[in-house]
Amino acid sequence: MNTATENFNISPFPEGVSAEEILHFGVEFARGPLALACSFSVEDVVLIDLIRELEINVGIFALDTGRLHEETYEIAESVSERYGVQIDWYFPERDAVEDLAREKGLFSFRQSLENRHECCRIRKVEPLGRALANFSGWITGIRREQSITRAEVAPIEIDACHGDILKINPLVSWRETEVRDYAKRKRIPMNQLHNQGFPSIGCAPCTRAVKPGEDPRAGRWWWENPEHKECGLHRR
């Protein structure tokens, strides 16, 4: 939607820039409507809290893949009530899901990387494209510390996969301890799975608790190599 990003090079942000500064810059530069993609991880709820404090007008949407944990729906309701926000839910196309289940069964994503990408494309990537269609930029809770696939993520990026809109990552340099400290200090609602060893939460069949000392993304698609552990939402 947004053409403001054409012919613009975003200079690297200096180390130590705050999440608030990143948000303010993103809002100013986007020059149009913004939305937060919310998976109801602790990072995303922290961002909702920050956005409310800064009084930024940002939409909130979520992707319901049809295979989310019950705890994710519970925290979604808690967040909506706590902050008085409307959450716009996007679902996969029915025919695509039915065809996938009919042709390959309910667990084809464990058979090959190609099959897993197909499932993620149907359940996540395609709905995300629809969710972003009318926005000039989107906000995410991804952090560099989360995985090797996110180690080079910048605070502000141009999202070429979605029409060159802005992609704003305010927590990119935060450590997990910083996220948890903020959540504790502000007493924000938190997905109960985080207290059960789930640092990263996605679809129920593709997410499990991690052992102490394991990589935060070790519980996602645990049958795959670390460099493959993305679903396509954050293609670069």
- Residue 232 in domain: no
- Residue 66 in domain: yes
Residue type at position 61: F
Tell me the pLDDT tens digit for each residue of 183-224.
Answer: 999 999 999 999 999 988 999 999 999 988 888 778 888 888
- Residue 205 in domain: no
| pTM for the structure as a whole | 0.88
Task: Count how many domains the chain has.
Answer: 1
User: Is the four-CA dihedral 72, 69, 234, 153 of positive or negative sign?
Assistant: positive
Range of the domain at 108: 19-198
Indicate if 231 belongs to the active site.
Answer: yes
Q: Which two tokens stand for residue 215?
A: 């990589």
Q: Where are the beta strands (DSSP E) in 34-132?
A: 34-37, 58-63, 87-90
Tell me the pLDDT tens digit for each residue of 14-63.
Answer: 667 899 999 999 999 998 999 999 999 999 999 999 999 999 999 999 99
The answer for residues whose C-beta is within 8 angstroms of residue 165's C-beta and 6 or more apart is 1, 2, 5, 30, 132, 135, 136, 137, 138, 158, 159
Q: Taking a C-beta distance cutoff of 8 angstroms, is the pair 170, 50 a contact?
A: yes
Please tell me which residue in 119, 203, 206, 231 is annotated as part of the active site. 231
Position with higher pLDDT, 97 vs 234:
97
Q: Taking a C-beta distance cutoff of 8 angstroms, is the pair 24, 50 a contact?
A: no
Q: Taking a C-beta distance cutoff of 8 angstroms, is the pair 217, 231 a contact?
A: no
CATH of residue 166's domain is 3.40.50.620
- Residue 103 in domain: yes
- Residue 180 in domain: yes
